Chains A and B, each alone.
Chain A
C-alpha cells in the first residue's frame, strides 16, 4: 500500500505533539489507558485521520492501532468513514461532548450488567448474616454494595437524561 506522508509542517506538528504529551500526563488522563488516549487525542486534534497516519504519529503497530480504533468505534466515541474512490478509511468524531457522554453511558451500561449480581450478593449476605456477620470484612463488603446499588439506579436515570439531550 502507498505510504502516506503527514501533510503538517514540522513546527505545527511539534505543537500538536506537545499538546498530546501534556494531556496524557495530566491527572485526568493519566489513569486511563495511554494508547487509547493518545489515539483519541490525535483524532480530536486532526478532526479526521487515517490509520496509517496514526501509526506514523504515535509509533504504535498497525495491529494495536486497529484494535484500539475498533474498540473506540464500538463504544460510540468515534466514527469510521469510507473515503470514496480510495480504499482507505478515516476516523473522525462528532463532538467532545459526544465522546464524553458515550464514555459515561458505557460505564453506566457496565454497572447495569452487574446490578442483578450485586443484588444476589446482598440478598445472600443478608440471609446468612447470622453465620457471616461476625466475619472480618462482612461490613466492608456490605457498605460497598449498599452504596453502589442505589448509585447504579441514579446513574441509570442520569444516562436516560443524556439520551434525551
Chain B
C-alpha cells in the first residue's frame, strides 16, 4: 500500500463507532431517496463525508460495490463538483475527498449546478433553433413552448440555489 493511501485499519471503525457510521450511512441513503439519488451514490458520498479521504479500494472494502460501480459513481461526483481527486505519489491511483469542508461542499455543488444549468440552457436554445426547421410539423408548437417553459424555469431555479447556500453559511 502506498504511504499516502489510508491504511486499512484507519478506515475500519469498530464496535459502537461502526454502529454510528452505519446509522449515518442510512441517513444519507434515506435523504437520497427523496432527491432521486440512487443508494450507491449516497453511500459512497456518505463514506467520503465521514472519512475525508478514501481510495477506490478503500471504498470497495467499505461498500462492497464492484470497482466498476465505484469508478462510475466517483466520476459522476467529481463532475458534479462535490468530490475531488488527487493522485497518490508515485502511483496511478487516486485519493478521493469531498470538496472543502461540508458547508464548502454544498456551496461548490450549488455553484456547479448553476454552471450546469447555464450549459443545459445553451444546449436547449440550440435545439430551439434546430426545431425552427420543422415549423408547422406536428408537435413543433408544443415542444417549442415547453422548451421555453423549461428555460424560464431553469432561470428561476438558479436563483433558489444561492439562497440555500447563503442560509447554510449564516450563523
Q: A interface vs B, CB < 8 Å?
A: 7-9, 11-13, 15-16, 18-19, 22-23, 26-28, 30-33, 36-37, 44-47, 75, 95-97, 99-101, 103-104, 106-107, 109-111, 113-114, 117-118, 121, 125, 128, 132, 135-138, 140-141, 144-145, 147-148, 151, 154-155, 157-158, 161
Question: Which A residue sits closest to B146, measured CB to CB?
Answer: A45
Sample of 5 more A-B contacts, CB < 8 Å, known A12-B137, A37-B36: A75-B34, A135-B13, A137-B14, A137-B21, A138-B17
Contact A141 B164 (CB under 8 A): no
Which A residues are CB-close (under 8 A) to B168? 151, 154-155
Bound Cα distance from A28 to B115, whole angstroms: 10
- Check A141/B153 contact, CB under 8 A, given A9-B140, A28-B80, A36-B36: no
Contact B17 A11 (CB under 8 A): no
Total inter-chain residue pairs, C-beta < 8 Å: 180
Question: Which B residue sits closest to A103, measured CB to CB?
Answer: B35
- Shortest distance from the beta carbon of A142 to any chain B beta carbon, whole Å: 9
- Shortest distance from the beta carbon of A132 to any chain B beta carbon, whole Å: 6
Which A residues are CB-close (under 8 A) to B16? 128, 132, 135
Q: List 25 A-B contacts (CB under 8 A).
A: A7-B138, A8-B138, A9-B137, A9-B138, A26-B116, A27-B81, A27-B116, A28-B80, A28-B116, A31-B76, A36-B36, A46-B146, A118-B27, A121-B20, A132-B17, A135-B16, A135-B17, A137-B17, A137-B50, A140-B50, A141-B21, A147-B101, A148-B102, A155-B167, A158-B164
Bound Cα distance from A96 to B30, whole angstroms: 24
Number of interface residues of B (CB under 8 A): 70
Interface residues of B in 81-119 (CB under 8 A from A): 81, 101-103, 112-113, 116-117, 119
Bound Cα distance from A42 to B137, whole angstroms: 19
Bound Cα distance from A99 to B153, whole angstroms: 10
Tell me the interface secondary structure of chain B in the complex.
Answer: helix
